[in-house]
A and B are shown apart, each in its own frame.
Chain A
């Protein structure tokens, strides 16, 4: 997916999160780095540090003074939009790309949309979506578990929350992939940004005359300190919900199905012991955490002895932290009934994923419905798998058979 670069020979001083080998199998690279050089560095793609130990990742996530969220992407592709073309530029995508105080109050506006109560209300729709997609391929005895299933679920739930048509799901998915998975490709990256931006600007205009009960309408009627939210801020927050709510959960559902397809004992156990689902979901989130977040260093400083400079990028590798043997016994194994699982798949500290309740529900329902109808399945023989990597890892092509 990513554009070819020179092969990486030294992961400690020259890493590349878009390296094809890293995207396919990052696990040994993380294990080696945690042992030999837990804070790696690279000059590639604009330069960055990368943390791989749980303790370091958590410490950095909590250190919001030294590590700012103003830049959460690590890929610098050189593309830049003119400010007048990009009304959200002033605000970014809060609260994810904001520091306190903007972070604090924008997050309070968003959080109730993803509370337990609200998420329980989205469950029936999610279950119907899963069932109707399975209906579409079950008789064929084969499917692409990523394209025909995982990819189809979260985008439709998010469309419903934003009050935008489900029929545009593939378009939304395309834009989000352009932004996140093709961050190294200036043309595709801009296409994604402009697609989402101009679409949501039109949706905001529409709601000014014809408001609904969706998130965008509510944002337009929300005040902060006595003034309505600026439209650029509404745009940034709505864009964040679309961007963060699609690629991530779809990646988790896909990785979990990949694991069950390649570990039939685990699939059989989950079918036989459905009461394991809650701990299994946490374990699959731990073992296949999709998201790595970046920060920008705010001041010349030392972190665990490493000399960091103002403006340096820092990658908090949550997926690597979640496989740290200092914290997790049998860290490299998926243990469906793991009792103690303090994973940080949704981050740590004040930026804990605002959609974590929604993601957990979607992953649970997607696995329950799949296993209920398709209890045994395996990867299609000879089929090519494709993974996306970088800062969101998950399968993009995952052909399976269930004859």
Chain B
């Protein structure tokens, strides 16, 4: 599983960071990004899906393998 945060859609709600701090970081302006290269370890896939489903801006995308 590979994911990315669309920087144009992200508005800094920080729900992803709250739900999966292992996967996302947030800067001083609220902008979220995926830590590392976007590849999600198998044991964190459920958390990644939860973050995708809870983003109020639908800013997190699952990239096609």
Footprint of B on A, CB under 8 Å?
108, 111-112, 115-117, 278, 282, 339-344, 346, 348-350, 352, 356-357, 360
Contact B13–A346 (Cβ < 8 Å) = yes
B10: min CB distance to chain A, Å: 10
Contact B11 A349 (CB under 8 A): yes
Q: Which of A115, A340, A352 contacts B13 (CB 8 A)?
A: A352
B contact patch SS: loop
Q: Does B28 contact A (CB under 8 A)?
A: yes
* A352–B11 CB distance below 8 A: yes
Contacts of A344 in B (CB 8 A): 56
A117 touches B28 (CB 8 A): yes
* Contact in complex: A343, B29 (CB < 8 Å): no
- Cβ-defined contact, A116 with B14, below 8 A: yes
Contact A340 B17 (CB under 8 A): no
The answer on a CB contact under 8 Å between A115 and B11 is no
B30 at the interface (CB under 8 A from A): yes
Q: Can you identify 11 A-B contacts, CB atoms within 8 angstroms?
A: A111-B30, A112-B28, A282-B15, A340-B50, A340-B53, A340-B54, A341-B54, A350-B11, A352-B30, A356-B13, A357-B14
Residues of B in contact with A (beta carbons under 8 Å apart): 11-15, 17-18, 26-30, 50, 53-57
**For B50, what are the chain A residues with a Cβ–Cβ distance below 8 Å?**
339-340
| Cα(A350)–Cα(B50), bound, Å | 23
**Of B11, B29, B54, which one neighbours A342 at CB under 8 angstroms?**
B54
Q: In the bound complex, how far is the Cα of B29 from the Cα of A192, in angstroms?
A: 31
Of all chain B residues, which has the CB nearest A338?
B54
Q: Flag if B56 contacts A112 (CB, 8 Å).
A: no
Q: How far is the CA of A117 from the CA of B54 in the complex (A)?
A: 22
CB <8 Å contact, A111 and B11? no
Complex Cα distance, B27 from A282, in Å, reads 22
Question: Do A112 and B53 form a contact, CB below 8 Å, given A349-B11, A352-B11?
Answer: no
Structural contact, B56 and A342, CB atoms closer than 8 A: yes
What distance in Å separates the Cβ of B63 from its nearest Cβ neighbour in chain A?
Answer: 21
Name which residue of chain B comes closest to A344, CB basis: B56
Tell me how far the C-beta of B51 lies from the nearest C-beta in chain A, rounded to whole angstroms.
11
Give bound CA distance, A340 to B53, whole Å.
6
**With A and B bound together, what is the CA distance between A343 and B27 in angstroms?**
22
Instruction: Check A348–B28 contact: CB distance below 8 A.
Output: no
Residue of A nearest to B57 (CB): A348
Q: Which residue of A lies closest to B30 (CB)?
A: A111
Q: How far is the CB of B64 from chain A (nearest CB, A)?
A: 23
Contact A348 B14 (CB under 8 A): no
Cα-based distance from A270 to B61 in the complex (angstroms):
33
Which residues does chain B contribute within 8 Å of A115, judged by CB atoms?
26-30
- State in angstroms the CA–CA spacing of A152 and B28 once bound together: 28
Which of A340, A341, A352, A360 is the one whose CB lies under 8 Å from B12?
A352
Alpha-carbon distance A357/B14, docked complex (angstroms): 8
In the complex where A111-B29, A339-B50 touch, is A348 in contact with B12 (Cβ < 8 A)? no
Give Cα A115 to B13, complex, Å.
Answer: 11
What are the residues of chain B within 8 A of A282 when measuring CB–CB? 15
Residue of B nearest to A107 (CB): B29
Q: Is the CB of A348 within 8 A of B26?
A: no
Q: Please measure, in the bound complex, the distance between the C-alpha atom of A111 and the C-alpha atom of B27, giving whole angstroms.
A: 10
Take A339-B50, A342-B55, A348-B57 as given contacts and tell me if A356 and B28 are in contact as well, using a CB distance cutoff of 8 Å.
no
User: Are A111 and B12 within 8 A (Cβ)?
Assistant: yes
Bound-state CA distance A352–B17 (Å) is 16
Chain A residues whose C-beta falls within 8 Å of the C-beta of B17 in the assembled complex: 116
Q: Cβ of B53 and Cβ of A108 under 8 Å apart?
A: no
Chain A contacts of B26 at CB under 8 A? 115-116
| Closest-CB distance, A287 to chain B (whole angstroms) | 16
Is B56's CB under 8 angstroms from A356's CB?
Answer: no
Report how far A359 CA is from B15 CA in the complex, Å. Answer: 13
